[in-house]
Structure 1
Amino acid sequence: MNNNAGHADADNTTMTEPDRKVIVASITRMLARREHSAQEIVRKLSQKGVDEAAIWPVLDEFREAGIQSDARYAEARARALMLKGSGPQKIKADLHQHGVAEGLFDEVFRELDADWFELARQVKEKRFGQQYPQEYKDKMKQMQFLSYRGFSQSHINYAVNGE
């Protein structure tokens, strides 16, 4: 989605200097607050009426200088979601939605170094307590909750059944 092939070759002379300054200032403000994916930056600026073809050359300069990094964004976003109790599938879906290349996923999850089984157990206990559910409907409710949070079936079984 964030494939900017062809954008890097855009002719910078067609962009006026005031337009360039507005784009640089906007990207700088966004990145000063928090990490953003390239796709997120392009989407936000496009929504403000900035031509996408004018954004990419400037954004490429930020990327080449190491100021904007999808890898850094992905690591920060994944860690924040994990700390909020999201499982690996929900994190992957979120990163994909924000335009992070799937090739970065393995690196991001290595950096997280999470014990997904224990996290699923902690999320379950925070919501439902330490006791394992005895009733079928309670077990299904907990399993559905953890599934919604993005945990795999093996993580869910560990958290709900102690298996």
Structure 2
Amino acid sequence: MSEFDRKIITDAITRMLARREHSFNEIMRKLQQKGITGDAFMPILEEFKDADIQSDARFAESRARALYLKGKGPRAIKLDLQQYGVDESTAEYAMREIDADWFESAKKVKEKKFGEFYETEFALRQKQKQFLQYRGFYQEHIEYAVSANESS
């Protein structure tokens, strides 16, 4: 590989990471889409990883926090991180690091969409539960959100 090719690959990776954190797999995919072969970029990408310039842990934490703030549940966040190639232990670590209160988050998401009142009609409660399930919350979070005490 020529020094010119190395500079192009290094610049491409640097530009990606300057905008936001990227997972290792995401950078690989983007470089392949640019027509750069794995043989050419893999050693350079490994250097970025070894120097801790690229970090799947930082990416996972950043992505998990952003999705949590958008009202996504833990199931949806873990699935999203998987799609970016983040391994399960790194995803679990990121989920602990964001220090999320999933019960209150589910309640806030439910209140934003359906209001604060407690729904007594079965069909409407089911609709709320399905919505929260779609947002990636687990059953215990959903039950808390739709059955929360009426005084809140």
With the length of structure 1 as denominator, give the TM-score of the two structures. 0.88
1:62 partnered with 2:48: yes
Q: Name the CA distance, whole Å, in 2 between partners of 1:157 and 1:26.
A: 46
1:157 partnered with 2:152: no
Q: CA deviation at 1:140?
A: 1.1
**Partner of residue 57, structure 2:** 71
1:122 partnered with 2:71: no
Q: Which whole-Å deviations, capped at 9, do the CAs of 1:63-109 have from their partners, x for residues lacking one?
A: 11111000000000000000000000000000000000111122112
Amino acid at match of 2:14: T
**Partner of residue 135, structure 1:** 121
Q: CA deviation at 1:21?
A: 0.9
**Partner of residue 71, structure 2:** 85
Amino acid at match of 1:25: D
Amino acid at match of 2:90: L
**Partner of residue 91, structure 2:** 105
Q: Name the CA distance, whole Å, in 1 between partners of 2:136 and 2:39.
A: 36
Q: Which whole-Å deviations, capped at 9, do the CAs of 1:97-148 have from their partners, x for residues lacking one?
A: 0000111122112111111000000000011100111222211111111001
**Partner of residue 9, structure 1:** none
Amino acid at match of 2:41: I
1:43 partnered with 2:16: no
Q: RMSD across aligned C-alpha pairs, in angstroms?
A: 1.0
Amino acid at match of 1:105: A
> Which of the residues 38, 47, 50 maps onto 1:52?
38
Q: Name the CA distance, whole Å, in 2 between partners of 1:128 and 1:28.
A: 44
How many residues matched? 149
Q: Give ranges in structure 1 of 5+ residues lacking alignment.
A: 1-14
Q: Which whole-Å deviations, capped at 9, do the CAs of 1:6-57 have from their partners, x for residues lacking one?
A: xxxxxxxxx2222111110000000000000010001011011110221211
Amino acid at match of 1:90: A
Amino acid at match of 1:35: E
Identity percentage of aligned residues = 60
**Partner of residue 11, structure 2:** 25
